[in-house]
Amino acid sequence: FKKEEMSISPYYFFSNIYYQKMNMVLEELKGKGFKVNKIDQAHLKTLANLSGIGYYGKNSIIHNDEFGSQMFLYAFATDELLEWDEINYKLSDCEDCTICVESCPNKALEDYKLIREKCIRNYTLEGKYIPDKIRDTLGSRLIGCDKCQTVCPKNFGKNEDLPIMNIQERELLLPDLYLKNWEKGLKTHIRKLGDLIGYNYARTNRVLVQSIISAGNIRNKDLTNELKTLQKHQDKNIVQYSNWAVRKINNGSDKNEY
C-alpha cells in the first residue's frame, strides 16, 4: 500500500469471496440430498486442531503445512456417517520459535494467548474507544493487523498466486474519500467499501474513526481543514480523535513504528 492509503488485512479482502464459496458448497451438498447446516457458534480453532486440520501458533491462530495460517475455517453439521481419522492431540509445532510474539506492535501475545485489550485488530473490529497508545501503533490501518502472521515462517511462500486489489478497489482505501465533505463522502463510498470487505466491517462510524487516525499518523496536512471540521462533531470520541490527529500533524512527531 502507498503511504496515503489505509491498509486492510488480506483476510478481510477475501472474506466475502470465501463466504460466498462456503454457501455454494452448502447448497451443493443440500442439492445432493445431504442434511447439512452451517454451525455459527462453535470453537472452530479447537475443532480444527482436534481434527488434524492444523496446529496452534503462538499467536493463537491455526496453521498447517499447505496454507500456513492464511485460511478460513467453517464448520458444517450433518447426520451423514463420515469416515474420519483419529483425533489429533498435538497442540502446536512451533517448538522454540517466538517470532510472532516478539513482533507484535503492542506486545499483545504471550505463548498461545492473545491479550485482546492490547491487540490492534481488536480495536479496528469492535468499535471501542481507542486510547492514545493504541492510536500511535495503528498507523494507517483501516482494519486488521496481521503482523504476527506476516512474520510467521509457516506462511513463507504460501498463497503467492492470490489476486491483488485493482486500482479502483485501492482508491476506496484513501482517507480523503471519507474525510472530505465527510457526511456526503461516507454515504457515497461506504457501500462500495462494504462490497469490497463486507458490510459488517465497513461500518460508517468505524471507517470515519480509522480515517481520522490514519490521517494523523501519516501526517496528511491536506486533511487538516477536514479534521478541524470534525472537531465539532456530535460524537465526543470523534472530537477527541480529531483533536489528536490535528496535534499529530502540527507537531510532526515521528515516534511511531507501524
State the catalytic residues: 40
The strand pairing partners of 63, in sequence order, are 55
- Cβ distance 183 to 228 under 8 Å? no
3-state DSSP assignment of residue 99: helix
User: What whole-number distance in Å separates Cα of residue 161 and Cα of residue 169?
Assistant: 18
Q: How many helices (H) and strands (E) does the chain have?
A: 12, 8
- What length is written for the chain? 258
Q: Which three cell numbers stand for residue 240?
A: 477527541
Cβ neighbors of 106 (< 8 A, separation 6 or more) are: 118, 119, 120, 133, 134, 137
Q: Which amino acid is at 183?
A: E
End-to-end CA distance of the chain: give it in Å, rounded.
Answer: 13
3-state DSSP assignment of residue 68: strand
User: What whole-number distance in Å separates Cα of residue 75 and Cα of residue 43?
Assistant: 10
* Beta carbons within 10 angstroms of residue 122's beta carbon: 17
Q: Comparing C-alpha atoms, which of 85, 96, 90 is closest to residue 49? A: 90
Q: Which amino acid is at 174?
A: L
